[in-house]
Amino acid sequence: MKLVQELWESLAEALIGLGAVVRFLLRLVAASPRALLRLDLISQQIYNAGALSLVIIMLSGLFVGMVLGLQGFQLLQRFGSEEALGVAATIGLVKELGPVVTALLFAGRAGTALASELGLMRATDQLSAMEMMAVDPIRRVVVPRFLGGVIAMPLLAAIFSVIGIYGAQLVGVQIMGVDAGSFWSQMRGAVGLRDIYEGIVKSCIFGVTCSLIAVYQGYYALPTAEGVGRATTRTVVTSAVFILFLDYLITAVFL
């Protein structure tokens, strides 16, 4: 009986937390039109969240693609259909690995940076100082960071997938000897716009999710060293869980 009550309480707590996050999202959306007038601020944040994550995204994309090429080749060879490697790798990357791994890396690289930056701004009174200067920190600081992340994510996922396909090709065609012509032509024949569309939808939703979690955790971090540390950890953990959960949900919807 006690267990049921505890479970119920933690469920209620989680729902309240979710409600607070959704309310925060609505505040961000409401402040977005005015924040969009400051393109300089947003492009700066696209640079921070996107360009600075490029190296890790490209490297990871290459390795994931290479592993996919290797594993895919081994598997497909058993059925004598190694020409289908291009299709398998591309579908896997565009629909799943591209958006998901990019989002996980984004949470680790850009999400933590966002959360700790905002948390430290809170801890050092920078956000209060802005309020005292009659500048809304949500509009001036939080929304540009949020939008920067939202815009950067699909771009990063696309780059990840492209590099990944190149990596699969590198291992499959250059090393394992799959015919280059059939690798590319089968891929072009079998991968449809709908697959790419699914990948784009996923990475857009992950972009909103990861950026929202990061700015929420940072903005409401306790203004202490421990509080900021916890906000950063929570950003990664919550983002990871939500990405994988939403990934399943979106995949199910698309099928």
Partner 1 sequence: MNQSTSIVEIRNLSYAVNGGRPVFAGLDMDISRGRVTAVMGPSGTGKTTLLRLITGQLRADKGSIVVAGQELRGMKRADLYVLRRRMGMLFQNGALLTDLSVFENVAFPLREHTDLPERLIRQLVLTKLQAVGLRGAAELMPGELSGGMSRRVALARAIVMDPEILIYDEPFVGLDPISLGVILRLIRRLNDALGITSIVVSHDVHEISTVADVIFLLSGGKVVARGTPPELQSYPSEIVRQFIGGLADGPVPFHFPAPDYFGELLARGEDA
- Summarize as ranges the residues that interact with partner 1 (CB under 8 A): 120-121, 124-126, 128-136, 140
Q: What's the min distance (Å) between Cβ of 124 and partner 1? A: 6
Q: What's the min distance (Å) between Cβ of 41 and partner 1? A: 11
For 116, residues 6+ apart whose C-beta sits below 8 A from its C-beta are: 218, 228, 231, 232
CA 73 – CA 75 distance, rounded (Å): 5
**Shorter beta-carbon distance to partner 1: residue 129 or 244:** 129
**Shorter beta-carbon distance to partner 1: residue 121 or 240:** 121
Tell me which residue of 139, 150, 153 sits closest to 41, measured CA to CA: 139
CA 186 – CA 237 distance, rounded (Å): 38
**Shorter beta-carbon distance to partner 1: residue 6 or 13:** 13
CA 108 – CA 81 distance, rounded (Å): 37
Q: What's the min distance (Å) between Cβ of 107 and partner 1? A: 22
Q: What's the min distance (Å) between Cβ of 111 and partner 1? A: 18
Angle at 101 between CA 95 and CA 102, to 5 degrees: 95
Give the start-end residues of each E strand in 72-138.
none
**Shorter beta-carbon distance to partner 1: residue 4 or 132:** 132
Q: What's the min distance (Å) between Cβ of 128 and partner 1? A: 7
Burial of 130 (0-12, 13-18, 19+ CB in 10 A): middle
**Shorter beta-carbon distance to partner 1: residue 40 or 226:** 40
Q: What's the min distance (Å) between Cβ of 29 and partner 1? A: 17
**Shorter beta-carbon distance to partner 1: residue 39 or 244:** 39
For 161, residues 6+ apart whose C-beta sits below 8 A from its C-beta are: 61, 90, 93, 94, 97, 98, 199
